[in-house]
Amino acid sequence: MKGWSLGRRLLQYGALALLFHLTSGCDRPAPSPSETRDQPKDAVGKPAKATDAPLVLVFGDSLYAGYGLDQGRGFAPALERALAEGSLPARVINGGVSGDTSAAALARLAFTLDGLPRKPDLVLVGLGGNDMLRGFQPETTRANIDAILTELDRRGIDAMLTGMLAAPNLGADYAASFNALYPALARRHDAPLYPFFLDGVLGRPALMLADGIHPNAQGVRAIVAKVTPLVSRQLQPSNRE
């Protein structure tokens, strides 16, 4: 993220924070453990099948889930297509749930992983936005994401973090604490970090849905163009040994 653009994006983000909080209440609530066993789907919405290709799970909230988009237009299928176009075919499974907090995601993590066809080669973790917009303490969010990454470590699964930024109307102290949790966790777990998932997209109407918060299909493609090189690097055979 460039400093000159980040300040502008944060001001726009703060103005939209209340709207995001209200719209997130319309999202589907996090599923119960029994529902979550059937939650992950592959890029075309069919049960994932075991293949020799790398298996990637994107595990997060509405930004991963493809909120407001037609099937096949969300982050998971777009990432799968981009990897294939880069000569790295991979199966990308959508483990995003709209409205998820870090605590809700932690509660469904084991069921999600156990429901996959095999152990994934990489899990992208994108959480914390709903915690922030609901005013949860950053220490709580950090502890939950830390627990998610610790479980992935325990299972021998590589992880990658995509971060979020606090809305400036929550105050400088809150923002400093919240924004710092992602790089701190990335260092702690030796995980690559994409600092701000909506970088270059937030505040640009042509790349956003009408709610001004979630990316449209074009916005998703812009995000994927930046994230794919990091994912591809992690999936190289030398990094998977």
pLDDT, tens only, 166-194: 998 999 999 999 999 999 999 999 999 99
pLDDT, tens only, 152-168: 999 999 999 999 999 98
Query: Is 34 known to be catalytic?
Result: no
> Which H helix or E strand runs over 157?
none
What's the pLDDT band for 29 if we cut at 50, 70, 90?
very low
Average pLDDT over residues 102-113: 98
Tell me the three-class secondary structure of the chain, residue by residue. CCHHHHHHHHHHHHHHHHHHHHHHCCCCCCCCHHHHCCCCECCCCCCCCCCCCCEEEEEECHHHHCCCCCCCCCHHHHHHHHHHHCCCCCEEEEEECCCCCHHHHHHHHHHHHHCCCCCCCEEEEECCHHHHHCCCCHHHHHHHHHHHHHHHHHCCCEEEEECCCCCHHHCHHHHHHHHHHHHHHHHHCCCCEECCCCCCCCCCHHHECCCCCCECHHHHHHHHHHHHHHHHHHHCHHHHC
Answer whether residue 6 shows pLDDT above 90.
no
Exactly one of 24, 42, 62, 232 is catalytic; which is it? 62
Class of domain 3-240: alpha beta
**Is this structure's pTM higher than 0.75?**
yes
Q: What is the mean pLDDT of the chain?
A: 85
pLDDT, tens only, 64-90: 999 999 999 999 999 999 999 999 999
What's the pLDDT band for 52 if we cut at 50, 70, 90?
confident
Query: Is 211 known to be catalytic?
Result: yes
Answer whether residue 32 shows pLDDT above 90.
no
What's the pLDDT band for 51 if we cut at 50, 70, 90?
low
What pLDDT sits at residue 241?
59
Nearest to 163 by CA among 154, 150, 175: 175
What's the pLDDT band for 237 if we cut at 50, 70, 90?
confident
Among 18-32, 105-119, 226-240, where is mean pLDDT lowest? 18-32
Map out the domains of the chain as residue ranges: 3-240
Exactly one of 189, 199, 214, 232 is catalytic; which is it? 214
What pLDDT sits at residue 78?
98
What pLDDT sits at residue 192?
98
Query: Is 62 known to be catalytic?
Result: yes
